[in-house]
Amino acid sequence: MKAKGFTLIELMVVILIVGILAAASIPLMRGRIDSAKWSEANAIAGTIRSAVRVAYAEDADAKLTGTLNDPTLQASLGFNPADLTGTYFAPGDFNVDTVDEDTGIAVITVTSDGTGKKPAAGSYVLTAEGEWDKQ
């Protein structure tokens, strides 16, 4: 009579291989998840930048810099507080640093403290050229 099945050694080797593959993929997945979360910040920052350009075109003397937690700045840009609240970022995470006097293009900093559902701690700046610069 011939027994069919796997030996304990064969099963242990398969479990070891699966464990190694899982251990190698976790850092890759974590990086992809953070990248997706920062994509939300990029989209909101682009919306803020567009609102700053429109507000600047209407009134070049308006105060358009500061943190987006400020209700006065939100009103100047035509936002309700819920407009800037995403799954991972809130209005207080965005800051309009400067507005170019010639073009009305804003430089916006987005900061994450890495707590809760937010991506890893750090700051990104949406430059006047439209590129993200990690701080």
Mean pLDDT of all residues belonging to the chain: 89
Say whether pLDDT at 2 is over 80: no
- Stretch 103-129: mean pLDDT: 89
Joined tokens for residue 11: 């099963």
State yes or no: pLDDT of 3 exceeds 80.
no
d(CA 59, CA 70): 19
Question: What does the pLDDT average to over 53-64?
Answer: 90
C-beta atoms surrounding 92 within 10 Å: 13
SS3 call for 95: strand
Mean pLDDT of 124-132: 88
pLDDT in tens, 75-108: 999 998 788 888 999 999 999 999 998 888 999 9
Strands (E), the chain: 66-67, 94-99, 106-112, 122-126, 132-134
**Which pLDDT does position 118 carry in this prediction?**
87
How many Å apart are CA 103 and CA 17, to the nearest integer?
A: 57
**pLDDT at site 1:** 64
134, 124 in Cβ contact below 8 A?
yes
Tracing tokens 């398969």 back to the chain, one arrives at 14
Compute the distance between CA of residue 111 and CA of residue 38 in angstroms, rounded to an integer: 10
Which amino acid, residue 95? N
